[in-house]
Amino acid sequence: MKMNQQINKSTRFRVLSEDQIEQIFYSALEVLEHTGGNVYEEEALELFRNSNAVVRENNVRIPTTMVEEALNFYPRKITLKGRSGNRSLHLQKDTVAFGTGSDLPFTYDRETGERRRTRWNDINNAAKLVDALSNYDFFMSHGIVGDAPNPQTYDRHQFMAMLEGCTKPMVLTSVDGEGLEDLWKMGCLIQGGEEEFRLNPLFVAYIEPISPLKNDRTAVEKLLFAAEKKIPAMYTPCPSSGATAPATLAGMLVQSLTETLLATVLCHLKNPGMPLIMGGVTTLLDMKMSTYSYGAPELSLASAANTDISKWLNLLMFSTGGCSDSKVLDEQAAAEQMMNLFYSYLSGANLVHDVGYIDHGTNASLESLVLNQEMMGMVKQFGKGINTDDEHLALELIEKQGPGGEYVTTDHTFEHWKEWFRPELQYRGDYETWKKDGSKTMSDRINERTQHLLDTYEPEPIEDKLKKELQKIVEDADKRHS
């Protein structure tokens, strides 16, 4: 019998030590007690006034005891269920799910090659691709509907475009609290009622504070509605180091955590036990180009550190990966996307979003989604680690085949080669075969694969009666805002 052995069933990766996490946590508590955050929503201010927090006009300072009490009430597991009912996503410690990002204003037109405003059809096409591609676990819109009748109702139209193309669980943005309420009503229709939605939510609501340390009316309104209805929600600080946060990563992590902790207390005051997810798109301002960088290695490092902190706090984590600053899908895009995909996966973040982003979060590319499908497959293969049981150590086989033997014809090879990563886009043939096959580049193969999926993939349709009920919610919103 073997004693005192540690067998790694997966790879292991961690950025912060236990002591470093404590340093950041205690620092965030210090900021909450002495600097506080500003809140611009009256119901939230009233909740804080009726608690042990100190409220001076819009500034709220929170004692440590309130933070520690609130942290005890958040669920450590959430299960999302897609509209088809058979695509569940279990969010719990160290389970990783990949998905797209949200409101990209521009899209690369596949016919003209030019950048233009994103339309309803672009969202629907992205939805179909994500539904068809197996390594995507959830869907964000990968664009913002620019041809909606009214900007105040774009979120309902966007949700319909997503629903018609994709059956997987989703993460949604919304215009305001009223918009989130309509999206929730649509989600309840699909899941079979409010109670069913609460047990098996279709989506998570994406909500952002304004760094540094500000919480505007719209964001807080959405947060309070999510808390009231127990809609899973992430409150996602998006500071840029050197501009809206300190230029040191540790300082940015302290500020980002402070913003998260304020939200944990507010949600607890509103409705204890609501499913809140920690978020954070923490990166830097490129000082040369004045852009918020999605390709910087510091984004990967800070995101992994945030995930370490979230695990220590027993909160689920919404992180970032598969994104790039490159203007087009080129070598820079592939290098940056692969790097932040890899480290977000190793960190064990629960929801890794923004997969496929290019142009620092302003431009949508369907081909980028297809490329990332391949890269996510490679990353997941690495995460499987190395099995060292007797079957995989293969000592009997090595002895049988002996010096100078071969393994191609053995049953062991036939059984185990299927465990390897098998590329769909990368070409591994020799030069002569590649020439014979048409000398296609990776870009050629990505374009062909994208077009093939758009031409042939048909998502499971929404039943007619349900579709009419969903559309009525959208039409009613248009009438209210006409």
pLDDT tens-digit readout, 451-478? 999 999 999 999 999 999 999 999 999 9
User: Which three-class secondary structure state does DSSP give residue 467?
Assistant: helix
What is the separation, in whole angstroms, between the first and last Cα of the chain? 75
* 2 φψ region: left (φ > 0), alpha (ψ -120 to 50), beta (else): beta
12 backbone φψ class: left, alpha, beta (φ>0; ψ -120 to 50)? beta
Strands 97-98 and 106-108: unpaired
Quote the pLDDT of residue 218.
97
CB 378 within 8 A of CB 371: no
Cα(482)–Cα(479) distance, rounded to whole angstroms?
A: 5
Instruction: Give pLDDT, residue 85.
Output: 84
Residue whose structure tokens are 């590649």: 434
Closest to 88 measured CA to CA, from 101, 77, 103, 102? 77
Tokens in use for 68?
């520690």
Following CA atoms 375, 381, 384, 387 in sequence, which dihedral angle do they give, to the nearest 10 degrees? Answer: -160
Q: DSSP assignment of 159-173, as one string? A: HHHHHHH--S-EEE-
Strand order in the sheet with 97-98: 97-98, 351-353, 317-320, 276-279, 233-235, 203-207, 170-172
pLDDT at 1: 65
> Using CA atoms, how far apart are residues 90 and 134, in angstroms rounded to an integer?
16
Please state, as a whole number, how many other Cβ atoms lie within 10 Å of the Cβ of residue 275. Answer: 22
- pLDDT tens digit string along 97-133? 999 999 899 999 998 989 999 999 999 999 999 999 9
pLDDT for the residue numbered 219: 98
Using an 8 Å Cβ cutoff, are 107 and 261 in contact? Answer: no
CA 316 to mean position of chain CA atoms = 12
pLDDT-flagged residues of the chain (< 70): 1-2
Q: Which two tokens stand for residue 149?
A: 């009748």
pTM for this one?
Answer: 0.96
Tokens 């999605």 locate to: 294
Instruction: Count Cβ atoms below 10 Å from residue 403 Cβ, excluding itself.
Output: 5
Instruction: Find residue 55's DSSP bridge partners.
Output: 60
The four Cα atoms 436, 437, 439, 445 give a dihedral, to 10 degrees, of: 180
Give the CA angle between residues 452, 456, 461 to the nearest 5°. 140
Give the H or E element holding residue 91.
strand 88-91
H-type helices in 133-271, by residue range? 154-165, 177-191, 194-199, 217-229, 249-270
What integer best gives the mean pLDDT of the chain?
96
- Note the pLDDT of residue 8: 78
How many angstroms separate the CA atoms of 102 and 234, rounded? 14
Local structure of residue 210 (DSSP, 8 states): B
Q: Nearest CA to 460 among 161, 185, 131, 125?
A: 131
d(CA 302, CA 319): 10
Torsion angle, CA of 51/67/224/229, rounded to 10 degrees? -110
Contact 268, 328 (CB under 8 A): no
- For residues 138 and 110, the answer to whether their CB atoms sit within 8 Å is no
Per DSSP, the residues of 384-408 read T----SHHHH-HHHHHHH-TT---T
Cα 403 to Cα 103, 390, 392, 394, 398: the distances in Å are 59, 20, 19, 15, 9
Secondary structure (3-state) at 319? strand
HSE at residue 250, side-chain half, CA atoms within 13 A, is 10
pLDDT number for residue 113: 87
Q: Which long-range contacts (CB under 8 A, 24 or more apart) does 77-81 make?
A: 78/201, 78/204, 78/232, 78/275, 78/277, 78/316, 79/200, 80/138, 80/169, 80/200, 80/201, 80/202, 80/203, 80/204, 80/232, 81/169, 81/191, 81/200, 81/201, 81/202
